[in-house]
């Protein structure tokens, strides 16, 4: 059986694949936003002098690092509706379950990325900001966050790419993402090469676009960080 270009091109231009790719990207973005929100809280708690907060953050990171992402997916989709009545409503879809599962799981890793980025900001910058009369909150938001963001962007970009690929396992809860679409086509036609080749093309395009956007953001925050440093040290 040879590679059929007609099938390949038909599927490449199919709106079903485009919808699957878009869904994969949306799940990855939603998961990353949730992971950053939780991860930032965990990172700040791990830097806290409060022993309870520190213990809670360490426990969270330890626990969710130990659980496979696929296990979190099936727990969120199958177990949560049994335990919490609110998750039995119509709004709770495979998309929402995937975002929650992947976001909560990846937050354990994002927490360490953000903590290391915050720690990488020179303490002299904080002291200079306090000397200028800034409050601790102002110092964090106006001095630490811009510089820590610049440091964290490469790691977060890699995390987003990893999440796009990780959405493939969401097929276990019937999410119609890119890999699920390809698999359904293969099961119907047994044309493995053509359908999986289309999935490869879409993944390459998605990752390439993420890398371009990441590069633009890195340049933007590099400029912002330099300007911020000049203002604080004056």
* Tokens, residue 144: 């630490």
Return d(Cα 211, Cα 223) in angstroms, integer.
19
What local confidence, expressed as pLDDT, does residue 205 receive? 97
Return d(Cα 1, Cα 57) in angstroms, integer.
55
Return d(Cα 33, Cα 182) in angstroms, integer.
27
Smallest Cα–Cα separation from 232: which of 141, 132, 144? Answer: 132
Range of the domain at 173: 5-233
Report CA dihedral (64, 70, 72, 73) to the nearest 10 degrees.
Answer: 150
- Write the CATH number for 101: 1.10.3720.10
Q: What is the DSSP letter of 224?
A: H
What local confidence, expressed as pLDDT, does residue 234 receive? 52
| Number of domains present in the structure of the chain | 1
List per-block mean pLDDT (blocks of 10 residues) for the chain, which spans 234 residues: 89 94 96 97 93 96 95 95 91 95 97 94 83 85 88 94 95 92 92 95 97 91 57 52
What local confidence, expressed as pLDDT, does residue 223 receive? 59
What local confidence, expressed as pLDDT, does residue 73 receive? 96
What local confidence, expressed as pLDDT, does residue 134 receive? 87
3-state secondary structure of 225: helix
Number of helices (H), then strands (E), in the chain: 11, 0
């Amino acid at each position: 059986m040879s590679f059929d270009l007609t099938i390949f091109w038909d599927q490449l231009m199919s709106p079903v694949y485009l919808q699957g790719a878009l869904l994969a990207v949306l799940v990855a973005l939603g998961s990353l936003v949730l992971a950053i929100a939780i991860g930032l809280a965990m990172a700040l708690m791990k830097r806290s002098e409060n022993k309870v907060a520190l213990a809670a953050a360490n426990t969270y990171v330890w626990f969710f690092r130990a659980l496979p992402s696929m296990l979190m997916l099936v727990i969120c989709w199958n177990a949560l509706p049994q335990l919490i009545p609110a998750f039995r409503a119509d709004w709770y879809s495979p998309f929402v379950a995937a975002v929650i599962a992947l976001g909560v799981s990846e937050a354990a890793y994002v927490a360490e990325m953000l903590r290391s980025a915050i720690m990488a900001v020179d303490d002299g910058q904080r002291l200079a900001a306090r000397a200028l009369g800034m409050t601790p909150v102002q110092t964090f938001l106006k001095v630490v966050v811009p510089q820590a963001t610049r440091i964290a962007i490469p790691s977060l970009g890699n995390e987003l790419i990893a999440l796009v690929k990780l959405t493939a396992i969401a097929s276990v809860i019937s999410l119609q993402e890119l890999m699920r679409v390809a698999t359904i086509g293969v099961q119907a036609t047994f044309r493995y090469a053509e359908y999986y080749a289309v999935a490869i093309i879409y993944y390459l395009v998605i990752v390439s676009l993420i890398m371009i956007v990441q590069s633009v953001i890195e340049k933007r925050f590099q400029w912002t960080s330099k300007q911020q440093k000049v203002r604080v040290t004056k």
